[in-house]
């Protein structure tokens, strides 16, 4: 084979290999779930339920911007105590099993679900499981009128604990939080793709196309 052609072939192989090595194979996106929206009524108490399990030491919480750094309930309460009219001593708050329902209810307006999946799974509309759930202190309840990120909870932890929510019309019946989230039994908007903020779009309008 002519050395010139051999050199061209080698250069093409090198270029293709380099391109494939740089090709993005994963994509991340976040969904926002508003608990007051139609179809999400069953998730109305998810904030209170998860935070109660967090307070009782059943569910592990993580810092808002770090899914590898465990957050204690005392740290959570200390951070948000300003919106809760309470004189509870921090060192005793977990021991006394104080009722934090009012504080917890401020985190029930909406939450985000974070996904990290392979592009082909999205392009082919295959099943995707969220990595974690993040609560937010709504601006409606914030003293400063600014939204604050709340704790993060891993979906696998929620599934393993089999955390349940009461059914609105039948409190004797419980729904698995893990099943609701993993099976996408809720209405949501996609708000970011690869950490790029997007105009909120319903997942049904974008799923299967935005990975291309």
At residue 199, does pLDDT exceed 50? yes
pLDDT tens for residues 11-48? 445 444 444 444 556 778 899 999 989 889 889 889 99
- Mean of the per-residue pLDDT values of the chain: 76
**For the segment 142-178, what is each residue's pLDDT rounded down to a tens digit?**
777 788 899 999 999 999 999 888 776 665 568 899 9
Q: How confident is the model at residue 86 (pLDDT cuts 50, 70, 90)?
A: very low
2: exposed, middle or buried (Cβ count in 10 Å: 0-12, 13-18, 19+): exposed
- Give the mean pLDDT of 85-112: 66
Distance, in Å, from the CA atom of 94 to the CA atom of 18, rounded to the nearest integer, reads 54
Give me the pLDDT at residue 169, please: 64
Residue 108 burial by Cβ neighbours in a 10 Å radius (0-12, 13-18, 19+): buried
At residue 207, the pLDDT reads 53
Question: Tell me, what's the pLDDT at 101?
Answer: 80
Tens-digit pLDDT profile for residues 43-75? 988 999 999 999 999 999 999 988 899 999 988
Burial 7-29 (b: 16+ CB within 10 A, else e): eeeeeeeeeeeeeeeeeeeebeb
């Amino acid at each position: 084979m002519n050395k010139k052609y051999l050199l061209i072939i080698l250069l093409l192989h090198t270029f293709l290999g380099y391109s494939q090595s740089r090709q993005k194979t994963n994509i991340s996106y976040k969904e926002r779930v508003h608990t007051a929206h139609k179809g999400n009524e069953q998730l109305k108490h998810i904030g209170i339920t998860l935070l109660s399990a967090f307070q009782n030491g059943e569910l592990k919480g993580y810092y808002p911007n770090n899914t590898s750094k465990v957050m204690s309930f005392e740290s959570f309460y200390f951070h948000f105590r300003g919106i809760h009219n309470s004189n509870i001593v921090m060192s005793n708050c977990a021991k006394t099993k104080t009722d934090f329902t009012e504080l917890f209810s401020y985190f029930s307006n909406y939450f985000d679900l974070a996904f990290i999946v392979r592009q082909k799974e999205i392009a082919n509309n295959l099943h995707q499981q969220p990595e974690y759930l993040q609560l937010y202190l709504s601006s409606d309840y914030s003293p400063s009128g600014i939204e604050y990120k709340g704790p993060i909870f891993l979906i696998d932890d929620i599934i393993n604990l089999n955390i349940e929510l009461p059914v609105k019309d039948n409190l004797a019946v419980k729904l698995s939080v893990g099943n609701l989230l993993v099976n996408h039994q809720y209405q949501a908007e996609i708000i970011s793709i690869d950490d790029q903020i997007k105009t909120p779009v319903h997942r049904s309008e974008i799923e299967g196309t935005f990975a291309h």
